[in-house]
Structure 1
């Protein structure tokens, strides 16, 4: 199994997808009524696809998963470019911090980060922070699910692709428990040919996750929650 997608719910997938594609320098994969997809390739590391799926109404949930954008010494220039592309400044109670919090065109919060040694070789996404009720437990869960390994960075627990390239996956203490609302952003994991879907489902359950059975019609993937309630999908092998 491997981490393949970062998925956004979007009222206007093309507008939101184009914003992120331009900000990150990603490559267009799909632009259709079913959604917008763009690929971020990390030299020597993973490929991550950003997928923007249509929803009828703006998401109302608190942001439990977000992106930290790399900037380094050029932080102000990255902020200016994000604002030019359609972002806006956002106050989420961050106070006096060395990074800048912005909202994308659909008000998904993201951070333009300060210069950090831990962000070396990440590519344009420095980190993917996730709210967690138990960072130790959830890091073990996602390490098993993705094959990513301990990175020992500043968050309570942090994983990274085995190449040590690409973004950090950071597990942060949640400010509040997960609500019943579906997260506006989630991750997708892709099975490989040798993976048995039912064995994977059993492994998810044994490690504290659970399968959901939403009424979305006939879909080729399976939907789960991690032990802290964050949704993710397991996609069939190519």
Structure 2
């Protein structure tokens, strides 16, 4: 049994506006959603679901605004040259992104926030991300990357590419799409994640059995007041929220 990362879930007060921002930011398209509740953003054309290359984005309406606390999950965007990085930053700012300070100091990447304050980075060109598409990585702050690598390595079917005391990185077994990275940070988790990953079982696998397997690995149940829904809300051993979706 294994699970596939398939969605990046972003909370927003105005899900339509944030969905439009991310569609324009990535060169993707808004692909509907549930009126008044969600906006789905996916690559242009007619990509398969689940997408073998990209994590689609679903922006979910919530009543509360983002706190001033930095998100512990964010996107890194890839660029192909210094000129591309400069052009992308300018285009994102024209779309409504704003500069963000997260204690980064003098770094070669640019830290921005989307229209509701969700931080993300526009990276300088890096060879490792040359074929990921617009999203280089989904980055998770954590206290122990090695422990996260153990849990997530059992939870999902992606391949572990690198792990040490400060960093762990996964990518799909096909070697396509973005990386899932865990970076050691000194700050502790204090508020619910505004951004999280949704996982999908393979056809024929049982969602309840997958959730039970994750609990045995150290996941815990999460009650967000979601009520009777077809997905299961859990947290990993460091408290990062994620959902197990019903098999498609």
Tell me the TM-score range normalised by the shorter chain.
over 0.9
1:101 and 2:101 are equivalent in the alignment: no
Deviation at 1:144, TM superposition (A): 2.3
1:53 and 2:60 are equivalent in the alignment: yes
Per the alignment, do residues 153 and 123 of structure 1 end up closer, same or farther by CA in structure 2, a change over 3 Å counting? farther
Deviates more, 1:58-67 or 1:24-33: 24-33
Q: Which residue of structure 2 aligns with residue 111 of structure 1?
A: 121
Preserved CA contact (<8 Å) 1:132 1:171: yes
CA distance in 2, matches of 1:100, 1:135: 24
Per the alignment, do residues 71 and 14 of structure 1 end up closer, same or farther by CA in structure 2, a change over 3 Å counting? same
For residues 16-73 of structure 1, what are the alpha-carbon distances to aligned partners after superposition, in whole Å with 9 as ceiling and x for unaligned? 1101101101132215211110113789942421011001121224310000011131
Q: Which residue of structure 2 aligns with residue 2 of structure 1?
A: 4
Q: Which residue of structure 2 aligns with residue 13 of structure 1?
A: 15
CA distance in 1, matches of 2:115, 2:136: 20
Deviates more, 1:18-27 or 1:148-157: 148-157
Q: Secondary structure at the match of 1:138?
A: helix
CA distance in 2, matches of 1:82, 1:213: 35
Q: TM-score, normalised by structure 2?
A: 0.89
Q: TM-score, normalised by structure 1?
A: 0.93
Deviation at 1:153, TM superposition (A): 8.1
Q: Which residue of structure 2 aligns with residue 65 of structure 1?
A: 73
Q: Which residue of structure 2 aligns with residue 83 of structure 1?
A: 93
For residues 191-229 of structure 1, what are the alpha-carbon distances to aligned partners after superposition, in whole Å with 9 as ceiling and x for unaligned? 222322232122212212111233222211100001110
Stretches of 4+ moved more than 6 A in 1? Answer: 41-44
Preserved CA contact (<8 Å) 1:201 1:211: no
The total of aligned residue pairs comes to 237
2:179 aligns with one of 168, 176, 185: 168
CA distance in 2, matches of 1:47, 1:88: 25
Q: CA RMSD in A?
A: 2.0
Unaligned regions of 5+ residues in structure 1, if any? none
CA distance in 2, matches of 1:234, 1:139: 18
CA distance in 2, matches of 1:224, 1:40: 27
